DNA sequence: CCAAATTAGTCAGAGACTCTGACCATCGTC
DNA sequence: GACGATGGTCAGAGTCTCTGACTAATTTGG
C-alpha cells in the first residue's frame, strides 16, 4: 500500500491521497513546461536529485540522504546529469574525500522555467480556493512539516 | 524538476514540497507497519496498483489509467501480485476481451492494517494541528482536487 | 601521535520498473 | 458484415535501485 490507501467510507478519501493528487498535478505541469522548452534530456529520477543541489554545490551523500536513495543510486544519477551538462563535480576544498556536485548554467536556466510554472500553478490554486483558504492550506501544511519532515529546519 | 522544486525566497518552500513531505511520511509509516506484520513480499510499484483494486474487481486498463502507467507495466505488476497471492484474475462477465483483477484474502488483510495506520497518522496530524486547522486542511485539499484530479468524481 | 571507527565515494552485479512497438481477440457501430 | 476502437499480451530495451565489497580520507580515543 502507499499513502494513497485507506478508508474512504466516512469522511471522503484519506488525507494521503488528497495530498498526493495536487502534488502529482504540479509535477506534471513542471515536466511538461520543461519538455516544451527543450529540457527533455533528463528523467524524473534525475530531477529529484537535481533539485536538491544548492547554489554552492552539494555532496553526493547529502543528495542521497535528502532524496532518500542510496549513494550508489545518487552517483549513478549524477553521472547522467553530468553527461547531459546539468552539473559538474568539483573537489570539496574542506575534505579531500568528497566532491561537490555543482549546478551548471543549464540547470539554473531550467530551474528558472520550473519556478515560473510553480508560481503560475500556485496562483491558479489560490484563485480556486480563495486567498483566505489558500493561506490556511499553506499554514496547515507548514505546521505539518514539523512532524513529517526529518529535514525540517 | 519535480513539484518539490521552486522558489523558496518569499513565502517559504513551495506548496508542492509542502504537499509531498507529509505524503511521503504517511507512505513510509504504512510500509513499515505492513512489513512488520509480515507483508513484505510486494514493492511500492505493486502497491500503487494494488490500492486501486475495487472490491468488485478492476480491469487492467482501468488500473493502468489511474496509476498513470502503461497497461503493459500494469500487467507486469499484476503478474507479480498474482504470484504473491494478493490478487486473482477472473473473466469479466460483460466483456470477453477483459479480465477483472480481483483482490484475494491476503490483500484485504493487508489493507486492514494499512487502514489502521492511516487512521492513526491522521489522528496524530489532527492532534498536532488542532481540530479546526485539520478540518480546514482537508477542506482545502478536497476543493483543490476539483482542479488537480482528472478522476475527480 | 597513532590505531580504530567513521565517513565519502566507487565498482560490480543483480533485480525491478517502465517504456515503445507489434500483435491478437473482442466489441460497438454503421 | 466490415471497420475502427478497446482490452490485453508478447518481446525487447533502457532506466532505476538495491546489496555487497572495496579504497581513500577524516575523525576520535587513548
| Distance measured from the CA of protein residue A60 to the C1' of nucleotide D12, in angstroms | 33
What's the whole-number mean pLDDT along residues B1-30? 76
Q: What is the largest CA-CA distance in chain A?
A: 57
Q: Which residues fall inside 7 Å of strand D, measured at CB? A: A 43-46, 48, 68-70, 72-73, 76-77, 80, 95-97; B 59-62, 71-72, 75, 78, 89, 92, 95, 97-100
pLDDT digits over A101-117, tens only?
999 999 999 999 999 99
pLDDT of A4 strictly over 90: no
Residues 6+ apart with CB under 8 A from A42: A50, A80, A81, A84, A86
Cell of A96: 579531500
A98 touches chain B (CB under 8 A): no
Contact positions of strand D to protein Cβ (< 7 A): 6-12, 15-21, 24-27
Residues 6+ apart with CB under 8 A from B91: B98, B99, B100
Closest CA–CA distance from residue A149 to any residue of chain B (Å) = 6
Q: Name the least confident of A9-18, B79-88, B115-124.
A: A9-18
The reply to whether residue A125 touches residue B15, judged by beta carbons under 8 angstroms, is yes
What's the whole-number mean pLDDT along residues B82-92? 97
The reply to whether residue A48 touches residue B21, judged by beta carbons under 8 angstroms, is no
Band (pLDDT 50/70/90 cuts) for residue B14 is confident
| Distance measured from the CA of protein residue B113 to the C1' of nucleotide C17, in angstroms | 26
Kindly list the residues from chain A whose CB atom is less than 8 angstroms away from the CB atom of residue B50: 1
Cell of A140: 496547515
The reply to whether residue B137 touches residue A138, judged by beta carbons under 8 angstroms, is no
Percent of chain B with pLDDT over 90: 86
Integer-rounded Cα Rg, in Å, for chain A is 18
pLDDT for res B142: 96
A99-103 vs B87-91, strand pairing mode: unpaired
Q: Could you give the angle at the alpha carbon of A72 between the alpha carbons of A67 and A75, nearest 5°?
A: 75
pLDDT digits over A6-33, tens only?
454 456 788 998 999 999 999 999 999 9
pLDDT for res B150: 74
The reply to whether residue A1 touches residue B47, judged by beta carbons under 8 angstroms, is yes
State residue A7 phi and psi, 5-degree precision: -70, 140
The domain over range B15-147 is classified in CATH as 1.10.10.10: yes
Closest CA–CA distance from residue B107 to any residue of chain A (Å) = 10
Kindly list the residues from chain A whose CB atom is less than 8 angstroms away from the CB atom of residue B48: 2, 4
Please give the Cα distance from A28 to A22 (Å, whole number).
10
Question: What average pLDDT does chain B have?
Answer: 92
Q: How far is CA B16 from CA A50, A83, A118, A124, B69, in A?
A: 16, 28, 8, 13, 21
Please give the Cα distance from A141 to B142 (Å, whole number).
14
How many contacts (CB atoms, under 8 Å) link A and B? 208
Q: How far is CA A91 from CA A56, A59, A97, B24, in A?
A: 12, 10, 8, 33
Nucleotide nearest to B89 (CA to C1'): D8
Closest CA–CA distance from residue A117 to any residue of chain B (Å) = 9
Query: Cell 489509467 maps to which residue?
Result: B65
What's the whole-number mean pLDDT along residues B38-49? 95
A87 touches chain B (CB under 8 A): no
Band (pLDDT 50/70/90 cuts) for residue B5 is low
pLDDT for res B8: 47
pLDDT for res A149: 84
Amino acid at each position: 500500500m502507499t499513502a494513497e490507501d485507506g478508508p474512504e467510507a466516512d469522511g471522503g478519501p484519506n488525507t494521503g491521497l488528497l495530498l498526493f493528487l495536487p502534488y502529482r498535478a504540479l509535477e506534471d505541469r513542471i515536466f511538461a513546461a520543461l519538455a516544451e522548452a527543450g529540457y527533455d534530456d533528463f528523467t524524473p529520477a534525475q530531477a529529484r536529485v537535481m533539485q536538491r543541489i544548492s547554489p554552492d554545490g552539494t555532496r553526493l551523500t547529502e543528495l542521497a540522504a535528502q532524496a532518500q536513495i542510496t549513494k550508489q543510486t545518487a552517483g549513478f544519477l549524477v553521472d547522467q546529469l553530468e553527461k547531459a551538462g546539468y552539473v559538474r563535480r568539483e573537489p570539496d576544498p574542506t575534505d579531500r574525500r568528497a566532491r561537490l556536485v555543482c549546478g551548471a548554467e543549464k540547470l539554473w536556466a531550467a530551474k528558472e522555467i520550473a519556478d515560473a510554472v510553480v508560481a503560475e500553478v500556485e496562483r491558479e490554486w489560490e484563485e480556486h480556493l480563495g486567498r483566505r483558504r489558500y493561506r490556511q492550506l499553506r499554514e496547515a501544511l507548514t505546521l505539518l512539516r514539523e512532524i513529517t519532515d526529518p529535514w525540517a529546519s
